[in-house]
Amino acid sequence: MAQQAYMTETDNGGPGSEQQPTRLRRLRERLTRGWRDDRGIWRRGVVLAVCSPLTALVMLAHTHIPNAIGNLGSLVDTFLPWAGLLIPVLLVLGLIRKSATALIATVLPAAVWLNLFGGLLTDKTTTGGDLTLVTHNVNADNPDPAATARDVAASGADVLALEELKASEVPTYERALESTYKYHEVVGTVGLWSKYPLNDVKAVDIRLGWKRAMRATVTAPAGQVAVYVAHLPSVRVKLEAGFTARQRDKSADALGEAIADEPLPNVVLLGDLNGTMNDRALNAVTSQMRSTQGAVGSGFGFSWPASFPMARIDQILVKGAEPESSWTLPATASDHLPIAARVRLTAQDD
C-alpha cells in the first residue's frame, strides 16, 4: 500500500515529478551565478569583441577592398556569404571567455549578414513562365558524357546550354540529346540545344583567341529571345599571385559589351562565368542583367564544386525577361552542378 501511495503521488505531480525541473533549475543557477558574480564580464574579451565590427565592416565595404594586390577584393566578393560562419565562432568564443561585451558585439555582423543574404533563405519561387532553361558545365574530362546528357535532358528544359565540350565527345552529346531536342548548334567548346528553332547563330568574341561563347535567337511560342552561352576563363588562387583572374575579367568586359548591343528585348545568358554575382569584376555583365537565383530562387544555389558546393559560378541571367523560378539540379558526372530556371518573356513590339 505504501508503494502504491508513492506511485500515485509521483504521477499526480508529487516530489518525483518535481525532481527533474529542480535539477535543471539548480544547473541553470550555477551557470548564471558565475556570470552575475563576475565583475569582469564587461572588461574581458575586448579584443574578441572588436572582431565582430571588423567582420561587419568587411561585409559592408567588400566592394572597396582593392584588387591591386592579388585581386583580393574579387576573392572576398566570391566567398562573401561564407563570412557568416565567423558569427557562430565569435559567439562560442564569447561564451568561453564569459564576455558580455563580445557576445553583444556579435549582433552587428549578424544583422549585416542577414541584410545582405537573408533574402536568399526564403523561397521566392512563383508558378508559370514561358521557357525552362538549363545550363551545365559538363567538364571536359567527364567520364560518362552520355549519362550526363540524359540527366540534364530529363530536367524538362526547353533550352539547354552546355559548356566545356570536348571536341571528341560532341557526337556523344548529340546522339544522347537528339531525341529530345530538334535544334542544336555547337560553337567551339559551348553548345546550345533547343526544342524551338535557332537562328542568327554566331560566335561571340570574348578576347580569348578561341571560341568559348556564342549567341542565338530562339523562336519560342511566346516570342523570340536572344540566348547567350559563355564559358569565361578559369580563375586560380595561388599563394604567390593571389586570385589570378585578369583574363576572365577581360572576357567579362567583352561579353558585357556584346549583350549591351543586343537588339532583342528578351535576353538570357547561360553559362559558367567563373565568378559570382558579388564579384565586381563581372560588373560589365551583372550591372545590366538579373540573376534568376537571387530573384526567384530558394537558398544560395551554389554550383561548384559538385562534391561540396561553395560558390555559384554557373549562372542564368536575364534582361527583359522575367524570372519565375530557379533551382539546382542533382549532380551528374561533372564537377559542376547543373542549374535551371523558368522565365516569362516580356511583350514584344511587332
> Average of pLDDT values for 214-234?
97
For residue 33, tell me if it sits in a domain. Answer: no
Mean pLDDT of the chain: 89
What pLDDT is attached to residue 18? 54
* 157 and 71 part of one domain: no
For residue 334, tell me if it sits in a domain. Answer: yes
What pLDDT is attached to residue 267? 98
> Average of pLDDT values for 172-189?
98
Question: Domain ends where: 102, 121, 140?
Answer: 121
> Average of pLDDT values for 226-249?
78
* 111 and 260 part of one domain: no
- pLDDT of 40 above 80: no
Give the residue, 46 or 339, on which the prediction is more confident: 339
> Average of pLDDT values for 36-46?
74
For residue 75, tell me if it sits in a domain. Answer: yes
Q: In which region does residue 248 sit, left (phi positive, over 0), alpha (psi from -120 to 50) or beta (all else)?
A: alpha
- pLDDT of 272 above 50: yes
- pLDDT of 184 above 60: yes
> Average of pLDDT values for 6-29?
57
* 112 and 241 part of one domain: no
What pLDDT is attached to residue 297? 87
What pLDDT is attached to residue 348? 66
Give the residue, 124 or 11, on which the prediction is more confident: 124
Percentage of the chain exceeding pLDDT 90 = 72
Residue 192 and residue 161 in contact, taking contact as beta carbons nearer than 8 Å: yes
C-alpha cell at 38: 563576475
- pLDDT of 66 above 70: yes
Question: Domain ends where: 64, 94, 121?
Answer: 121
What pLDDT is attached to residue 315? 97
What is the SS3 assignment for the chain?
CHHHHHHHHHHCCCHHHHHHHHHHHHHHHHHHHHHHHCCCCCCCCHHHHHHHHHHHHHHHCHHHCCCCCCCHHHHHHHCHHHHHHHHHHHHHHHHHHCCHHHHHHCHHHHHHHHHHHHHHHCCCCCCCCCEEEEEEECCCCCCCHHHHHHHHHCCCCCEEEEECCCHHHHHHHHHHHCCCCCEEEEECCEEEEECCCEEEEEECCCCCCCCCEEEEEEEECCEEEEEEEEECCCCEEECCCEEECHHHHHHHHHHHHHHHCCCCCCEEEEEECCCCCCCHHHHHHHCCCEEHHHHHCCCCCCCECCCCCCECCEEEEEECCEEEEEEECCCCCCCCCCEEEEEECCCCCC
Query: How many Å apart are CA 166 and CA 151, to the nearest integer?
Result: 18
The length of the chain is: 350
What pLDDT is attached to residue 235? 82
Q: How far is CA 239 from CA 12, 98, 121, in A?
A: 69, 37, 34
For residue 1, tell me if it sits in a domain. Answer: no
Query: How many Å apart are CA 117 and CA 100, to the nearest integer?
Result: 27
pTM over 0.85: no
pLDDT band per the 50, 70, 90 thresholds, residue 237: low
* 227 and 86 part of one domain: no
pLDDT band per the 50, 70, 90 thresholds, residue 53: very high
Q: Where in the sequence is the domain holding 67, given as residue range(s)?
A: 38-121
C-alpha cell at 29: 543557477
- pLDDT of 10 above 80: no
Closest by Cα among 311, 325, 319, 331 to 157: 325
pLDDT band per the 50, 70, 90 thresholds, residue 45: confident
CATH number of domain containing 315:
3.60.10.10
* 112 and 229 part of one domain: no
Query: How many Å apart are CA 272 and CA 229, to the nearest integer?
Result: 9
* 65 and 97 part of one domain: yes
pLDDT in tens, 153-164: 999 999 999 999
Closest by Cα among 119, 348, 68 to 221: 348
pLDDT band per the 50, 70, 90 thresholds, residue 7: very low
* 144 and 81 part of one domain: no
- pLDDT of 193 above 80: yes
Give the residue, 255 or 68, on which the prediction is more confident: 255
**Do β-strands 267-272 and 223-231 pair in parallel, antiparallel, or remain unpaired?**
parallel
Closest by Cα among 112, 113, 106, 98 to 45: 98
> Average of pLDDT values for 15-24?
62
Q: How far is CA 216 from CA 117, 153, 196, 202, 259, in A?
A: 34, 20, 11, 7, 12
Question: Domain ends where: 74, 94, 121?
Answer: 121
What pLDDT is attached to residue 178? 97
pLDDT band per the 50, 70, 90 thresholds, residue 8: very low
What pLDDT is attached to residue 9? 42
What pLDDT is attached to residue 120? 87
What pLDDT is attached to residue 3? 47
What pLDDT is attached to residue 144? 98
* 174 and 61 part of one domain: no
What pLDDT is attached to residue 32? 62
Provide the number of structural domains found in the chain.
2
For residue 50, tell me if it sits in a domain. Answer: yes
* 159 and 209 part of one domain: yes
- pLDDT of 4 above 60: no
pLDDT in tens, 273-326: 999 999 999 999 999 999 999 888 888 999 999 999 999 999 999 999 999 999
